[in-house]
């Protein structure tokens, strides 16, 4: 995890190429083409964004540490001084030495931070196991769950949005347009329990007890996928609707393209750009959502570890989970920002550090980078 944090600046190394591609496909041909100067400014932009991400992750760690350990009600001291379950003196001495309770809060924090950089996340207060071990045990199952859920969310969002915008039946369009707000209003534990009741108890398709194997993954992943889908669906519906209103659609129709080809090749690629960015941001939500989903389906993983840690007020584990999720969020956010020009060639990273401006496209229908006016063939 710490490695992930420190790898930030290295991750976006490949982002120089989208600039070249943008030039080649879009603006190079035109005489007034605005050429982004790749190089120094780009590198500074990447470094600035990476530095900002690193700063935010560091602040998350600092604030969470402060909230969990430095405020009154220090969990370690509580555990030592718990009158019902006294810790034997020699063990207490070990704990005091490990957590340096005889030092000041700032010194304690610095020592904890030093250990973090050596890969030592501390020990669970509840079970006494190393937090790193708990992570190693749970992370695989949760990442698999998140990955499948991510795929399901993409599938749901695409299907719902396409039919909500392009279905020929007004009733279907109206019904599907309700989906985002309905899904947003339904807590994921209800979705999970409903699916469990329907598919396990009523229909008997999936065992409620068997949580291993692909069959045990389907319902939790579906629940988690539905939980993160509404915002993406909503943005995709808007994006497709806006793309559909643009004049280039008329050009495509005039070219004689079939409806499905216009939707699949042109409208989806144009209208999905905002949704793609949002999709990147849902990855942290997937991990956080696994707390509820794994608890509903009683499935081992990072979410269940987190839930038990909160239940037993096991601060070191909670701190590690927060650090992991914040780092994941920041890295994904950073990557999404940097590969943006790759997805949408109209967007280029200018030398002014954060500003984005569309490249001018004097020729060709505005708005659709996929459309170049028919070159002889049509």
Cα–Cα distance, 338 to 139 (Å, whole number): 26
Using the rule CB under 8 A, is 180 a contact of another protein? yes
Each residue 203-242 as x (binds another protein by CB under 8 A) or -, in order, gives ---------------------------xx--xx--x----
Q: Is 270 in the site for another protein (CB under 8 A)?
A: no
Cα separation, 26 vs 114, whole angstroms: 49
Stretch of 6-14, 102-110, 131-139, 275-283 contacting another protein, by CB under 8 A:
275-283
Judged by CB under 8 A, does residue 368 bind another protein? no
Residue 79, interface with another protein (CB under 8 A)?
Answer: no
**Among the listed residues 107, 194, 254, 357, the single contact to another protein using CB under 8 A:** 194
Of the residues 52, 79, 255, 269, which one makes contact with another protein according to CB under 8 A: 52
Count of residues binding another protein (CB under 8 A)?
65
Question: Applying CB under 8 A, does 358 fall inside the site for another protein?
Answer: no
* Residue 174 binds another protein, judged by CB under 8 A: no
Choice from 104, 185, 377, 378 touching another protein (CB under 8 A): 185
Bridge partners, residue 347, by sequence: 358
199 binds another protein (CB under 8 A): no
Name the 3-class secondary structure at 1: coil
* Rounded Cα gap, residues 360 and 50, in angstroms: 28
Question: Among the candidate windows 32-40, 64-72, 85-93, 148-156, which touches another protein by CB under 8 A?
Answer: 64-72
Contacts of residue 207, Cβ cutoff 8 Å, sequence gap at least 6:
200, 215, 216
Q: Which listed residue (11, 193, 257, 339) binds another protein by CB under 8 A?
A: 193
Rounded Cα distance between 119 and 207, Å, is: 39
Q: Copy the structure tokens of residue 130.
A: 């190393």
Q: Among residues 289, 315, 316, which one has the least CA distance to residue 304?
A: 289
Distance of alpha carbon 27 from alpha carbon 45, whole angstroms:
22
Span of 28-36, 104-112, 194-202, 242-250 interacting with another protein by CB under 8 A: 194-202
Minimum gap (Å) between residue 236 Cβ and another protein: 11
| Nearest Cα residue to 36 out of 345, 346, 340, 348 | 348
For residue 331, how many C-alpha atoms fall within 13 Å in the half-sphere facing its CB?
19
Q: Give 34 or 189: the residue with its C-beta nearer to another protein.
A: 189
Q: How far is CA 320 from the centre of its chain?
A: 18
326 forms part of the interface with another protein (CB under 8 A): yes
Residue 67 interacting with another protein (CB under 8 A): yes
Q: CB of residue 69 vs another protein: minimum separation in angstroms?
A: 9
Helix, coil or strand: residue 284 = helix
Nearest to another protein of 172, 254 (CB atom) = 172
Which one, of 331, 297, 294, lies nearest residue 309 by Cα?
Answer: 294
Q: What ranges in the chain are assigned the alpha helix state H?
A: 2-6, 17-22, 40-65, 75-80, 89-99, 105-117, 131-166, 170-185, 188-195, 213-244, 248-255, 259-261, 268-271, 273-297, 302-311, 315-343
Which residue among 129, 261, 311, 357 contacts another protein (CB under 8 A)? 311
Binding site for another protein (CB under 8 A): 49, 52, 55-57, 59-60, 63-64, 67-68, 71, 73, 75, 180-182, 184-190, 193-194, 196-197, 201, 230-231, 234-235, 238, 274, 277-278, 281, 284-285, 287-289, 291-292, 295-296, 306-307, 309-311, 313-315, 318, 321-322, 325-326, 329-330, 333, 354, 356
């Amino acid at each position: 995890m710490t490695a992930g944090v420190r790898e930030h600046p290295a991750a976006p190394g490949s982002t120089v190429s989208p600039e070249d591609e943008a030039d080649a496909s879009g603006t190079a041909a035109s005489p007034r083409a605005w050429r982004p100067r790749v190089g120094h400014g780009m590198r500074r932009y990447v470094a600035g964004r990476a530095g900002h991400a690193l700063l935010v992750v560091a602040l998350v760690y600092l604030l969470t540490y402060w909230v969990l350990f430095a405020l009154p009600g220090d969990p370690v001291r509580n555990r030592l001084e718990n009158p019902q379950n006294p810790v034997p003196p020699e063990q207490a001495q070990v704990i005091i030495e490990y957590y340096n309770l005889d030092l000041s809060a700032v010194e304690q924090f610095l020592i904890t931070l030093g250990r973090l950089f050596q890969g030592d996340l501390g020990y669970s207060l509840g079970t006494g196991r190393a937090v790193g071990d708990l992570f190693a045990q749970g992370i695989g199952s949760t990442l698999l769950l998140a990955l499948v859920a991510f795929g399901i969310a993409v599938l749901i969002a695409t299907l719902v949005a396409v039919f909500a915008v392009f279905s020929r039946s007004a009733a279907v369009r109206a019904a599907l347009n309700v989906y985002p707000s309905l899904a947003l209003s339904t807590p994921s534990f209800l979705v999970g329990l409903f699916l469990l009741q329907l598919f396990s108890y009523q229909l008997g398709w999936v065992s409620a007890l068997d949580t291993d194997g692909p069959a045990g993954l389907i319902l939790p992943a579906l629940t988690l996928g539905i939980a993160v889908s509404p915002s993406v669906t909503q943005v995709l519906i808007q994006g497709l609707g806006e793309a559909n209103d643009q004049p280039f659609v008329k050009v495509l129709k005039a070219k004689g393209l079939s409806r499905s080809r216009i939707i699949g090749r042109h409208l989806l690629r144009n209208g999905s750009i905002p949704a793609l960015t949002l999709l990147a941001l849902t990855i942290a939500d997937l991990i956080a959502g696994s707390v509820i989903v794994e608890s509903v389906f009683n499935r081992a993983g990072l979410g269940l570890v987190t839930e038990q840690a909160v239940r037993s007020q096991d601060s070191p584990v909670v701190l590690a989970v927060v650090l992991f999720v914040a780092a994941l969020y920041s890295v994904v956010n950073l990557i999404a920002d940097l590969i943006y020009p790759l997805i949408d060639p109209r967007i280029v990273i200018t030398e002014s550090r954060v500003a984005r401006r569309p490249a001018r496209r004097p020729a060709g229908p505005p708005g659709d980078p996929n459309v170049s006016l028919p070159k002889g063939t049509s």
